[in-house]
């Protein structure tokens, strides 16, 4: 929702293209139906700019690391399933690389169900690995730090690497 995710996606695509590969950047919010993505982005921007305590409450409820159960982003993310799967088919993608936690929930869910047949490699752009980044269906998590990669491996028992920023 912020430009950090967009910047990372653009840089990954630039590097892939420089290596002679094809790359397409797709905003998972644009894949949501009924204008939900625009609504979420607008709400996020308003909360961060004008009501930061609202965002703090949402972060605490949904994202803050800890042991108590948290709601999952998977139900919302699943609304983008059909559009993502169609895009993967049409582009004949070899891999899907989420750089936003909602997209990581979507790809993990689809991989776990067997609907997404290409690997998903999540790039965790945050230093704090909150639970929305974590879905056991994803094939690999790439983290900024060794500590973050350790957290992912501990939480999921799945591969995680720390190539750095």
pLDDT in tens, 52-103: 898 788 777 776 666 555 556 678 888 999 999 999 999 999 999 999 999 9
Exposed / middle / buried, residue 136 (Cβ in 10 Å: 0-12, 13-18, 19+)? exposed
What range defines the domain where residue 149 resides? 3-161
The residue count for the chain: 165
pTM of the model: 0.86
Q: Among residues of the chain, what percentage have pLDDT more than 70?
A: 92
Residues 6+ apart with CB under 8 A from 116: 84, 85, 88, 96, 107, 110
pLDDT surpassing 90 at residue 114:
yes
The span from the CA of 125 to the CA of 5, in Å, is 7
Q: Please count the structural domains in the chain.
A: 1
Closest Cα to residue 127, out of 152, 142, 145, 140? Answer: 145
């Amino acid at each position: 929702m912020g430009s950090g995710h967009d910047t990372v996606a653009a840089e990954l695509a630039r590097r892939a293209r420089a290596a002679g590969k094809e790359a397409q950047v797709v905003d998972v919010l644009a894949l949501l139906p009924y204008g939900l993505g625009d609504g979420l982005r607008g709400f996020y921007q308003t909360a961060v700019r004008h009501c930061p305590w609202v965002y703090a409450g949402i972060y605490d409820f949904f994202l803050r690391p800890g042991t108590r159960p948290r709601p999952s982003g998977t139900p919302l993310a699943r609304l983008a399933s059909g559009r993502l799967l169609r895009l993967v088919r049409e582009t004949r993608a070899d891999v899907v690389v989420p750089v936003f936690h909602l997209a990581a929930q979507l790809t993990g869910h689809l991989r776990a169900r067997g609907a997404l047949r290409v690997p998903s490699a999540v790039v965790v752009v945050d230093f704090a690995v909150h639970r929305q980044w974590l879905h056991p269906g994803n094939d690999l998590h790439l983290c900024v730090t060794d500590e973050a990669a350790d957290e992912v491996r501990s939480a999921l028992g799945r591969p995680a690497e720390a190539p750095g920023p």
